[in-house]
Amino acid sequence: MRFARYRTPDGATTTGLVVGPAGQERVHALRSAVALVELAAAGPDATGEAARWAATSSPAVPVGDVHLLPPLDPPSVRDFVTFEEHVEGVRRSIDGEGGVVPAWYEAPTFYFTNPHSLVGAHDDVAVPPGCRALDFELEVAAVVGRGGSNLRPEDAERDVFGYTVFNDWSARDLQRREMAVNLGPAKGKDFATTLGPWVVTPDELEEFRDADGYLALELRAFVDGDLVGQDLASNAGWTFGEMIAYASRGTTVRPGDVLGSGTCGNGGCLAELWGRRGRQDPPPLAPGQVVRLEVQGIGAVANRVVPGPDLADLPTVPPARVRSRARTTRSSS
């Protein structure tokens, strides 16, 4: 099953079941405007019933006649870094060092990104203020089903509600400054994340699962129609079940939480290529360019880069003021 969230020409927003082959997709609205997070929490039986009702009781509308939105409003968005090849290239791009730090192999590291800046499969993406090195990142994301705490990897894998395409847009120059403080990323990441075009349930992708439990999906990235990256999702160092289990350790993952796989290797982002080539080739993204990301079995997203607000037009945030480090006030006796 495939589920999308979309806006109709009359301005209504709803969630629907997507049917039909690539290029001929149609969408059937779910009843009662049920949200995808609610389906994730309800479980497979309720999801199947909702899909059957939509397919038989709701008229089909061509996907091209609606505006695709991010498929859900997740409670949280975690983004992992699980592709060794990506880590090698980006590390060289950022600090000139080769290889992968030993700590990377110990656990599937992630950061929290902004669930309020999600963009749809065909929405424009504005260059963030002050950015001169805009980049894309090709990923697959899993949507958590019922969730829980301290999950076992095998249970977490079975609990995945579905998968979607994930573009972790990155302002590399802003990110580099932030992470020099050993914290972040923050403004280098939180301006835009593409999710879409829809969420595909696991049963649709089982034919791609390899003997080790990974989804061997073909991943491809294009800039203005030119292929710049290509990889397999199965080259990740951890399965989604292992990522979700780690995320649930000592806390709770909730229905609808989104977990990005991290950027794939072999050109899954420009920064990896910059690190390997020793120069910004291809150059950073610029307004007018279109980034298209394709994931086998799921679909494609294509976003145009547009100008964003000029940093000079925004309120000024001053640099840190050097303070006295006093421990008492003048009035203290």
pLDDT tens for 166-219 read 999 999 999 989 988 988 899 999 999 999 999 999 999 999 999 999 999 999
DSSP H stretches of helix in the chain: 36-42, 44-57, 84-95, 153-158, 172-179, 240-247, 270-277
Where exactly are the structural domains of the chain? Answer: 2-69, 77-310
DSSP β-ladder status, 299-306 and 125-126: parallel
Question: What confidence score (pLDDT) does residue 159 get?
Answer: 96
Which residue do the tokens 């969420």 mark?
A: 199
**Exposed / middle / buried, residue 33 (Cβ in 10 Å: 0-12, 13-18, 19+):** exposed
- pLDDT the model gives residue 332: 67
Q: Vertex 95, ends 130 and 141: CA angle to 5°?
A: 70
CATH architecture of 77-310: Alpha-Beta Complex (3.90)
Percent of the chain with pLDDT over 70: 99
Name the band, by pLDDT with cuts 50, 70 and 90, for residue 92: confident
* Mean pLDDT of the 32-58 span: 94
Query: What Rg value do the Cα atoms of the chain yield, rounded?
Result: 21
**CA-wise closest residue to 216 among 236, 233, 199, 229:** 233
- The residue among 135 and 91 whose pLDDT is bigger is 135
The least confident of 3-17, 20-34, 91-105, 141-155 is 91-105
pLDDT mean across residues, the chain: 95
Contact 28, 19 (CB under 8 A): yes
Look at the block and give the residue holding tokens 């990256």.
Answer: 229
Specify the pTM.
Answer: 0.96
